[in-house]
Structure 1
């Protein structure tokens, strides 16, 4: 069971909202209205950890170890939303999200294969870590710069915890886990080929609600994410390469095989799929 060890390790580095955020260093002259609006949108987006947790608990009912870890992940992700809202409450109270706006991103996700979902969220943590690091560079106000740095470190630790559960799955179910992880890894490392940013909050998750079945589509400004990435924090090809390299590096560690490109990972995926197809049916 991984939960006790992960709980202990994350507890040791947990930050305190009152003592670890330098609230008294706020400089209002360095916060623009444009920047404050993006903080609002990220606060609402982070609230979507609530329906994601409900999905994880439902789709992993047979894995009490992972579901127990969700108590830590959910707490820390909701804390991200809370610290961003606290920043607005102190310095831009008119922009604090309403309860209705928060509740609007809580909707049911369709059931999906648990291993593929795990890999998707692992890649999502890597991507969010880089988005927030880039956002910290873009912001000019010192307190929000520090907040983004702190929560980016949380996202990196969450990715590490997911990787531990992925390794556990490899030991328990073998090639079916390899195939699932490689499939999603190829998808999530190919974001530069898609029109939309590849992150769990921007993927369609409820067919009955389509097209309003992504977290981003249910925000007050559904187009904000692309604008934030492309024209505000300017998450360019250099940053995107960092995300892809980090995904490939972790896949290399996970599968004990070096992947320098997405194409190499895709060839490995095909190899695993072919190997599974060649296996005889059980008697």
Structure 2
């Protein structure tokens, strides 16, 4: 089991919201209304760890080890939402999310293959680590800069934990796991070719709720994410390249084969897919 070791590792570096956040360094003159609005949107987005956890527990009923790890991931991700809300409560209470706004992002995700979902969220942690690093640079107020740096470090650790479960999956399922990870890896490393930000909170996850079946579509300002990325924190091609590099680096470690480009990873995906038995076809009466 990985859960006991991961619990010990993450417990050792867990930060305390009262002691480790320098609340007394707040400088009101360095927080703009525009910046404060983005903090509210991020606080609500982080609340979506709740439906994501419900999805993980439902789709991994046969994996108690990973499901137990969700207790750590869920706790730490919800604390991200909480610390952003605490910041607003202290310094911009008029922008603190309402319970109704938070609850709006809790809806049931459609069932999906567990291996592909694992890889999707692994890539999501890498991307969010870079988004928050960039957000820490963009913000000018000292306390929120510290908070975003702290959150980015959490996301990196979560990515490392997911990678451990991916290694375990390859040992257990072999090429089936490799094919699932490579498939999603190609998608998540190809963001420059898509019109939308490739993160789990920005992907369609429920046919019954379409078109409001992404977390971002259920925020008070559904267009916020794209504006935050392009116009505010300016997550440009150079930063996107950092995300792609990290995905390819980790795929290289995971598959024990070097991938310098998305095209190389895609060729590997096709090679692995060719080794798998064809998917069963439905035989009608």
Structures share a fold, TM > 0.5? Answer: yes
Identify unmatched segments of 5+ residues in structure 1. 279-283
Q: 1:24, 1:122 → 2: CA distance?
A: 34
- 2:154 aligned with 1:137: no
- Deviation, 1:104, is 0.2
Corresponding residue for residue 48 of structure 2: 48
Corresponding residue for residue 122 of structure 1: 122
SS state at 1:221 partner: coil
Corresponding residue for residue 29 of structure 1: 29
Corresponding residue for residue 255 of structure 2: 255
What is the 5 A alignment of 1:1-283?
Answer: 1-277=1-277
TM-score between both structures, scaled by the size of structure 2 = 0.97
Q: 1:230, 1:273 → 2: CA distance?
A: 36
SS state at 1:228 partner: helix
- Deviation, 1:132, is 0.1
Q: 1:196, 1:267 → 2: CA distance?
A: 24
- Measured against aligned partners, the alpha-carbon deviations of 1:162-188 in whole angstroms (never above 9, x if no partner) come to 000000000001010000000000000
Give the CA RMSD over aligned residues. 0.6
SS state at 1:112 partner: coil
Q: 1:99, 1:275 → 2: CA distance?
A: 49
- Deviation, 1:277, is 3.9
Q: 1:191, 1:211 → 2: CA distance?
A: 21
Identify unmatched segments of 5+ residues in structure 2. 279-285
- Measured against aligned partners, the alpha-carbon deviations of 1:12-51 in whole angstroms (never above 9, x if no partner) come to 0000000000000000000000000000000000000000
- Measured against aligned partners, the alpha-carbon deviations of 1:236-274 in whole angstroms (never above 9, x if no partner) come to 000000000000000000000000000000000000011
SS state at 2:276 partner: helix
SS state at 1:267 partner: helix
Q: 1:21, 1:197 → 2: CA distance?
A: 29
Corresponding residue for residue 281 of structure 1: none
SS state at 1:108 partner: coil
- Deviation, 1:275, is 1.6
Corresponding residue for residue 283 of structure 2: none
- Measured against aligned partners, the alpha-carbon deviations of 1:120-154 in whole angstroms (never above 9, x if no partner) come to 00000000000000000000000000000000000
Superposed structure 1 runs of 4+ greater than 3 Å apart: none
Q: How many residues align structurally?
A: 278
